[in-house]
Structure 1
Amino acid sequence: MEPIALPRPPAEPEPGAFPLLASLAPVLGAAAMWLVLQSPAVLAFALLGPLIALASLGDGRRTRRRRRRREAERWRRELEEVSARVDAALAERADRLRAEHPGARTLAGMPAHDPRRWRRADDAAVPVVLGVGERPSGIRLEGEVRASDPAAVRSGAVDDAARLRERAAVLDGPLVVDARDGVGLVGPAAAAVARTAVVQVLEAVPPGAARVVAPEDPAWDWLALGPHELHREPGSAVRVVGDGVEATVAVAASPEGLPRECRAVVRATLDEVRCGDAVGVPEALSAREAAEAASTLRDAAARAGLGPASGPPPHVALAQLEQPRGGLAARFLVADAPIDLDLVRDGPHAVVGGTTGSGKSELLIAWIAAMAAGRSTEEVAFLLVDFKGGASFAALAGLAHCVGVMTDLDERGARRAIESLRAELRRRERVLAEQGAREIGEARGLPRLVIVVDELAAMLDDLPDLHRLLVDLAARGRSLGVHLVLCTQRPAEAVRDALLANCGIRISLRVTGEQDAIAVTGTPEAARIGLEARGRCVVRVSGGATRLAQAALAEPEALARLVAASAALPAPARPWREPLPELLPLAAATAAASGAGDGPEGVVLGLVDRPAAQAVDPVLWRSERDGPLLAIGSASSGRTALADLVAGQLGTSVVDREDALWDALADGGPLVVDDVDLLLARLGEEHQQAVAQGLATAMRSGRPVALTARRATSAMAQLAPLAELRVLLRIASRQEHVVAGGAGGTHDAGLPPGGGWIDDERVQLALPPAPAPRRAPRAVPLPEGPLAVVLGPAAALPPALAAGAVAPGAPGADAAPVVAGAAHEWEAAWGELDRLRRVRPVLALGVDARQLRQALRHAPLPPPTRGEPAWLIDGGAVLRLR
């Protein structure tokens, strides 16, 4: 509105000039008369000058006082006129605000035929009046009355102008908030003011454009008297939702208890309502007044021909819908009438968008149940992918049509499934080629496979290579009978054009942004679906028009009946085999080998997983063809069990001692050594070299050799390359896994015992029926005949030999039964030990190999032994003494 000008402030009158000429004239006249008349009496006329001056000053002061009074009267008169204009403007503005926002009590008193109801435009605000209080008037007063002006101060104009400005600045008007921002009320009068707000929202939004969702609280039962469609649910908020509107009014004991969407928090008491800085007198309705207002609105709706919002019902039970036949037709959505979607006719693929809590999982379950109902496993199978933890499809896991559930809890299993799916495409191509069919509809014995993915974005984040497979499936799926149903919270980011182009069915439940809604259905409509409208969605098929629908809910009892009924159906062909078991009995592995036609020859090691071939095959070791075997693994990885497994089938014992290994190398036959790296580490340098060389010779000779080790050590440098068959069991670090010969990508520190890799293929070793016998070191007893004995520093001659023993070089030594001496004594009697060795055995007690060679020239390397060394040299053989 135009500003109102303040009156001109009172002006200070100009002060009068001093009457100089009038004061001098009598003086000059008296002087002239004295000069002419020469009479001193005429000089008395000179006194008239001061008198005239005083009189003139007094007259000027009186005139200024009179002018000040006139200015003050003008100011008051004009100020009254301006004040009247301000009052009229305030009244006009207050009347306009009351007309724009009449308040609940005024609305409740309007007759049913009043034409002013339900005139809210789409996307307009939903204002509600909470009370009456001071609010800015918007009236602007122009003009200035300076406090430095003495006349304005003296006349009181400064104070008058300030009071008028203060009065013009505010008016008593309705305290209004937008219900779309969410109105949360707390305080003693919160319920009464909330009724006021809800009545105004119902008066603003037509019944056909919205529905009411109210708490299951008797305090809101009066809403049933109104014309709007009413739904009840637990909670504390009343929501009016519909096309282009979502208004919330909630009551709570404290602001913390209000829903998050309540951005306008109002405290209501019996005499005050406060919202932010705005304060007023509350406008409250009793429950009886609110019920009367609702009844009036119902009468008005009946007169206008308005009723509850048309469109999808709020709840639909899947069991109430009769399922169609043909293709993969399913009836699980209801608009004004049920909607039939067929992946064969309308697809071949589908994309479903929806944020958390919108009902995605329930929609997918209902869709799968609708497709499975009345169809055999020879017609359709389902592969369910749940990257939200695996619980979404728990109710369908027992369905006979379900060939598997892939989750994000098993990343390696997910990658295995991807390889199997690639193999499934190749298998279907082969079947079509063998039958001469161009597409799935002409083939026999090949069910359609529907792959349902819940949370595509999370799956692509974890498995980025999967996108290439999905694009391939989307491009070739129609002819091969493979259909995708891709569900995600972020369609704009996760579903790329290469996928979306093949998705003829597009469903968008509630999404958080218009961009996601447009990415699926081409319209922003799904972004406007209310929070409470779980299962409400926008559907678009093959580029047609969008439709607002409600997803049916598959009740647990109905799902249980469906699963139970499917138990009699034959199991469909699975796109992948069961994962390898963590515990594999030898009998099961042997049965698999016999079933594969491998026969009994060879050592059965276990099973190998080949997802790219959709197979789990037996693993056999034929030493003549596969060469020596080396298994490397850390503690509790299954090394010893593998040694027992191989030894049991070869009919030999397991070598787990370094002294027994020395003997086994000399004996020939199959050789099974457990922890060969540990055994080599226990040996001295000479023995280690000799044993390593002996093992290498055995491995080159074609002799069956199976070794296990904790890690590939430097002592095994010449052995590891000779092992043509290498089994990598669980190894703690990736670096050691690579050093042992494995690929970095196959390292898995969580492998179960017996789990491992052969040529980068995952294997599970079988469990031996029983532990194999352990080879004991070979030793001979103490001989009775004449002996030559070499004693170490701490060794003592056994009591049985002490009687009759003589020192080396003593007289009669040749005839003595025992010639015994320390190593240095034999060295002093140079050549004596070599001479006696020709005629009697030599016994070495507590002497290491170096000391023995010092005392006995050309002594061979003695066998290793544990504890105090005791050897018997008899001719060219060095034997371990028992």
Structure 2
Amino acid sequence: MNASHTNDPRVVLPSAPQAAAPFRFPVVAAIVPIVASLAIWFITGSMFALVFAALGPLAATGSYVDSRITARKNSRTESRRFAFELSTTQSAIAAHHRRETADLAERTPPAIFLVRDVHTDSSRWMREPNDVVPVHLGYGHVRSDLAIDGGGTQERLDPSIAESYQQLIESASHLQRAPIAVNGRLGIAIFGVEIVALSLARALSIQISRTLSPATTWARFRGAFSREEWASHLPHRVLRSDGGADADYGDHEFASAHWGKLGDDKPSVSISVVFSEQQVPSGHRIVISAAGDSTTVVSHPDKHQRRDFEPSFLGREQALAWALAAHDIASRDGLATHDAAVPDSVRFSELLAELGNDSVPSERSSRSLQSRPAVGAGGRTLVDLVANGPHAIVGGTTGSGKSELLISWVLAMAAESSPGDVNFLLVDFKGGSAFTHLAELPHTVGIITDLDESVASRAFASLRAELQFRERTLAQAGARDVSELDTLPRLVIVVDEFAAMMADYPQLHALFSDVAARGRSLGVHLVLCTQRPSGVVRDSLLANADLRISLRVNNAADSSAVIGSDRAAELPAQARGRAWVAHGSSSAELVQFALATRHDIVAVASRWPATYRPRRPWCEPLAASIPLGALVEFSTIRSGESAAHFAHSGAPGTVRSRGVQHGGAVSFGLTDLPEEQRQTVAEWSAVRDGNIFIIGAPGSGKSVAIATIAEASMSASSTDRSDQELAIGAADGRGEDEAAVRVLAGGREPAGFWDVLAELHGQLDRDEAPGQRRASILLTIDDLDAVIARFDDDYRIAVLDRLARVLREGPARGIAVVASAQRITPALQSLVQLMPNVMRLRLNSRQDFVLSGGMSADYNPDLPPGGALWKGARVQIALGEAFPPVPMPARVVTLRSTENLVIASSRPRITAAAIAAAGWQVRELDGAPGSERELLIADTEKPIALIGSIDEWQSRWGSLALLRTHNTVVLDGCNLSDFRQLARTRELPPPLASGSGHYWRITEDGADRVRLSI
């Protein structure tokens, strides 16, 4: 049986099965009853007594059979017990072996497990062993410490039972495929197959480096070990040599590694790899043969350790990964003895003084962006955005010195690279003040802040065009990347608070991912700074940002997202500018970034010619005021140029040509095309573009836009009057020459607007004679929504129909319409469909902008007066010198006091007084029907004005129709129903302005307006 305590290293073998007791047939018991029966029979003579003679043998036979059955049952029970206890003992042995194997693996884990445990426990270095340095060789048979008790004398046992005992004892005495460990201080030498020997030695070296503290131990690598990169990244003080004269045992050294105490030249641990067993150096008491088919410990002070085993190997990349992680942890905990102290603070002026004037490059060198903005343990730290990048991620919490780091880094690059080598685009999304003074550098091409959304949007749009520009430049030069060109500087885009920028402009993820993917060859580099890199910077950016810098962060996740470890979360809060710098596969380096002042910025700027002006990746924003006359000098502004002179060119009254035409179009402003890195003239062509609808809030510049388009068209007509070109001739619009061009202004007064539409309808109805030149007319309507609202319901329907016909048929007949409105009312819905070109000025709300047909993303509430969206682009309308077109007055005919009048009035007495004052002899309508005709033919000195009420004239049915043939019929104060009954027509008369003193005169064509002579 097993001991009761599960961890007891002793196991008791099960007792052997008990043999059945021997049993003989009971002869005496069977004979005695027979003798007794015979005696009774003899005495009594009864034959019945003989019956008892058979009971004895029967009872004896039964007892015998019962004993045999019981013996067999006991034998089977013992066999089952023994089998069960045997199985239990085997399970106990296996469980104990598993614990032993686990204990061995925990004490000496294989090197591959150490590599997987990246976060190595540095406290292990605090428990450095003095005598024994256990190292894991591999796996094989290992003697168990399990003791076996019991079992009895095996000579007396059944052979099968004895064999079972033997198997238990043999299985308990050894562990199968258990970790094999040896004492590294005995010195280990390996010979045999080169690749096998080196892989095993590499695994042993990592284990020893993990056991011996770098604070108290140095390491020396010779031969092949000295040429393996991972060895130089160990946290210990490392000495390297290629063997030869420096070797301990001559020229036959293949590889060796030694670890010793600091201050003691005698190595305490040694591992060597040689070609043959004869070359094993002295001091190596453990010798391993690494043959191709087997690995054997051929020499060991303990003969039981000499065995075959399955070795544990380690590759170079795995060893390098562990060495880098161990170095980082040792540096974090102050155990890396070869690291000097990092200064608490550094002034940028000190770094600049070390450069001196001699370091200013005389020739362009676009192959690198070397800079030295920080000081590490070994002195000034070299950071090259080209070699180590091409892009960089900078993390740091509030107050850790992110802005100071970026400024120092930009200044360091500017100090060592000319403006022809590198330009800076600075993006500040935390208030806009961090990079203000860096604008003094000749390298700086722009500063983008979150304070001006429109400027930021157009700058980001220009970045896409910048990538295309660089692609075209490389293609034209036949170059593969920017380093092969002498004319294209590198562009470094520095973003402070990248997370805030992405929150405001989420669509920039695609743009910055594109820059990250193609930036290396195009010479565009990103430096992205944020407080929380974890989850903000996408994988597409991280994959191309090999240069990582982390100041102090709040948690380990943010630190790991930048530099792959949590040590940036442990930086002290008071160490402003203290950071970890890592790039590629190198370990992170602790540095102190310099702090720059305004004087340092001036000093760096003074190193380069002040006259240098770098090419900007976008044009200046459109000026809020652009003279119309300046457009004559304008063709196209591209990135790097300036349009500032257009804001002030030309003084009022200066004689100059205006309204430049481009292919039958007139110029009325400037168009901003940041996505193409240029600005160009905003043009409108009646033939190409048709009618224009201008919509904007009060004060947005609607009237100015109409005036500018009219003036530009008028100026253009003075130089070219081609049949297909829209221009303006007579500003008053009353020229009678059909070949002349005119501008018609529809005012807010319904009467004048009605007459303008009537005239345009006549133009559309008129047949043109062969060879007759078609007139070009521009109809301008300011505040169309207000104009339509002034008409009564009956007139409004007619006005909308007439205006719709002008919009529909006008462009083909030389008539174009430019109309404006504050909003699109239901009455304008059908008209807007006939004006496909909509110019959207500033509107009061995003909803109004969307209702006008614009996209919500294009809404800009900060547009200046005259700023608009035209054909999908931002336009600034120029300012002309002419006033807006003057609306035409309503056409009114003056009645002369030489003709008889027939007047139907709703106010006869008032009308009679006015007619009399104008010189007519007034007579009232009375008497029998028909007498009115005699009154008008009476011979009088003055013309007669026969006046009657509307009801009186309606009662004299047909009288007005008869009198109209020889007299003038005038209606005063009538509504449309009265007019239609008296004039017997369904046509609408021209509207009369309220209080104007105008009357309707019935004519053969319908009606017109008349007034009395004064």
TM-score of the two chains, using structure 1 as the length reference: 0.62
Q: Which residues in structure 2 correspond to 1:750-765 (within 5 Å)?
A: 750-765=862-877
791 and 560 in structure 1: CA distance in 2 versus 1, 3 angstrom threshold: farther
- Contact 1:332/1:367, CA 8 A, preserved across alignment: yes
- Following superposition, the deviation at residue 604 of structure 1 comes to 2.3
| Inter-partner Cα distance in structure 2 for 1:878 and 1:563 | 81
Residue identity in the other structure for 1:739 = L
Decide which of 897, 905, 914 is 1:791's aligned counterpart: 905
Secondary structure of 1:667's aligned partner? helix
851 and 593 in structure 1: CA distance in 2 versus 1, 3 angstrom threshold: farther
- Contact 2:744/2:780, CA 8 A, preserved across alignment: yes
Work out whether 1:778 is the aligned partner of 2:883: no
800 and 523 in structure 1: CA distance in 2 versus 1, 3 angstrom threshold: closer
- Contact 1:824/1:855, CA 8 A, preserved across alignment: no
Decide which of 683, 691, 703 is 1:628's aligned counterpart: 691
- Following superposition, the deviation at residue 491 of structure 1 comes to 1.8
CA-to-partner distance for each residue in 1:282-324, whole Å, 9 max, x for gaps?
xxxxxxxxxxxxxxxxxxxxxxxx9x98322523224334176
Indicate the residue corresponding to 1:806 in structure 2.
923
TM-score of the two chains, using structure 2 as the length reference: 0.54
- Contact 2:696/2:823, CA 8 A, preserved across alignment: yes
Indicate the residue corresponding to 1:822 in structure 2.
949
- Contact 1:643/1:654, CA 8 A, preserved across alignment: no
445 and 659 in structure 1: CA distance in 2 versus 1, 3 angstrom threshold: farther
- Contact 1:369/1:559, CA 8 A, preserved across alignment: yes
| Inter-partner Cα distance in structure 2 for 1:329 and 1:387 | 27
Decide which of 980, 986, 994 is 1:853's aligned counterpart: 980
Work out whether 1:478 is the aligned partner of 2:520: yes
- Contact 1:403/1:572, CA 8 A, preserved across alignment: yes
Work out whether 1:768 is the aligned partner of 2:880: yes
| Inter-partner Cα distance in structure 2 for 1:794 and 1:645 | 49
| Inter-partner Cα distance in structure 1 for 2:783 and 2:577 | 61
Residue identity in the other structure for 1:423 = A
Indicate the residue corresponding to 1:678 in structure 2.
786
Point out where structure 2 has 5 or more consecutive residues left out of the alignment: 1-122, 127-336, 639-659, 715-742, 761-776, 926-930
- Following superposition, the deviation at residue 451 of structure 1 comes to 0.3
| Inter-partner Cα distance in structure 1 for 2:912 and 2:818 | 41
Q: Which residues in structure 2 correspond to 1:486-501 (within 5 Å)?
A: 486-501=528-543
Indicate the residue corresponding to 1:659 in structure 2.
751
- Following superposition, the deviation at residue 412 of structure 1 comes to 4.2
Residue identity in the other structure for 2:990 = P
Indicate the residue corresponding to 1:871 in structure 2.
1000
Indicate the residue corresponding to 1:330 in structure 2.
371
Secondary structure of 1:797's aligned partner? helix
- Following superposition, the deviation at residue 459 of structure 1 comes to 1.4
122 and 530 in structure 1: CA distance in 2 versus 1, 3 angstrom threshold: farther
Q: Which residues in structure 2 correspond to 1:270-419 (within 5 Å)?
A: 310-318=341-349, 319-322=352-355, 326=365, 327-335=368-376, 336-373=378-415, 375-419=417-461
Residue identity in the other structure for 2:868 = G
| Inter-partner Cα distance in structure 2 for 1:878 and 1:562 | 84
- Contact 1:401/1:566, CA 8 A, preserved across alignment: no
Work out whether 1:530 is the aligned partner of 2:553: no
Indicate the residue corresponding to 2:287 in structure 1.
none
Residue identity in the other structure for 2:598 = P
Decide which of 499, 502, 524 is 2:544's aligned counterpart: 502
| Inter-partner Cα distance in structure 1 for 2:629 and 2:893 | 41
CA-to-partner distance for each residue in 1:123-163, whole Å, 9 max, x for gaps?
99xxxxxxxxxxxxxxxxxxxxxxxxxxxxxxxxxxxxxxx
Secondary structure of 1:467's aligned partner? helix
794 and 407 in structure 1: CA distance in 2 versus 1, 3 angstrom threshold: farther
378 and 855 in structure 1: CA distance in 2 versus 1, 3 angstrom threshold: same
Give the CA RMSD over aligned residues.
Answer: 3.0
Decide which of 805, 809, 822 is 1:710's aligned counterpart: 822
Equivalent residues, number:
582
CA-to-partner distance for each residue in 1:357-413, whole Å, 9 max, x for gaps?
111111111111222225443221111111101111011124332222222223344
CA-to-partner distance for each residue in 1:153-184, whole Å, 9 max, x for gaps?
xxxxxxxxxxxxxxxxxxxxxxxxxxxxxxxx
- Contact 1:594/1:600, CA 8 A, preserved across alignment: no
Indicate the residue corresponding to 1:833 in structure 2.
960
Point out where structure 1 has 5 or more consecutive residues left out of the alignment: 1-120, 125-305
653 and 553 in structure 1: CA distance in 2 versus 1, 3 angstrom threshold: farther
- Contact 2:636/2:680, CA 8 A, preserved across alignment: no
| Inter-partner Cα distance in structure 1 for 2:492 and 2:607 | 20
Decide which of 708, 716, 721 is 1:645's aligned counterpart: 708
CA-to-partner distance for each residue in 1:833-881, whole Å, 9 max, x for gaps?
2222222322222223332222222374222232145233454363333
- Contact 2:344/2:575, CA 8 A, preserved across alignment: no
Secondary structure of 2:883's aligned partner? coil
When structure 1 is superposed on structure 2, of 790-799 and 484-493 the one drifting more is 790-799
- Contact 1:842/1:873, CA 8 A, preserved across alignment: yes
746 and 662 in structure 1: CA distance in 2 versus 1, 3 angstrom threshold: same
- Contact 1:356/1:489, CA 8 A, preserved across alignment: yes
| Inter-partner Cα distance in structure 2 for 1:497 and 1:851 | 81
CA-to-partner distance for each residue in 1:59-92, whole Å, 9 max, x for gaps?
xxxxxxxxxxxxxxxxxxxxxxxxxxxxxxxxxx
Secondary structure of 2:672's aligned partner? strand
- Contact 1:646/1:672, CA 8 A, preserved across alignment: no
Indicate the residue corresponding to 2:796 in structure 1.
688
| Inter-partner Cα distance in structure 1 for 2:804 and 2:499 | 54
Indicate the residue corresponding to 1:259 in structure 2.
none
- Following superposition, the deviation at residue 468 of structure 1 comes to 1.9
Secondary structure of 1:373's aligned partner? helix
Residue identity in the other structure for 1:814 = I
603 and 825 in structure 1: CA distance in 2 versus 1, 3 angstrom threshold: farther
- Contact 1:593/1:599, CA 8 A, preserved across alignment: no
- Following superposition, the deviation at residue 797 of structure 1 comes to 1.7
Secondary structure of 1:582's aligned partner? coil
- Contact 1:795/1:845, CA 8 A, preserved across alignment: no
Secondary structure of 2:463's aligned partner? helix
Decide which of 665, 672, 676 is 1:609's aligned counterpart: 672
| Inter-partner Cα distance in structure 1 for 2:611 and 2:788 | 59
Q: Which residues in structure 2 correspond to 1:578-589 (within 5 Å)?
A: 578-589=620-631
Secondary structure of 2:833's aligned partner? helix
Q: Which residues in structure 2 correspond to 1:236-275 (within 5 Å)?
A: none
CA-to-partner distance for each residue in 1:530-558, whole Å, 9 max, x for gaps?
22211111112332122221111222122
When structure 1 is superposed on structure 2, of 680-689 and 372-381 the one drifting more is 372-381
Residue identity in the other structure for 1:614 = Q
| Inter-partner Cα distance in structure 2 for 1:598 and 1:443 | 40
632 and 782 in structure 1: CA distance in 2 versus 1, 3 angstrom threshold: same
523 and 614 in structure 1: CA distance in 2 versus 1, 3 angstrom threshold: same
- Following superposition, the deviation at residue 520 of structure 1 comes to 1.7
| Inter-partner Cα distance in structure 2 for 1:370 and 1:595 | 33
- Contact 2:744/2:756, CA 8 A, preserved across alignment: no
Secondary structure of 1:520's aligned partner? helix
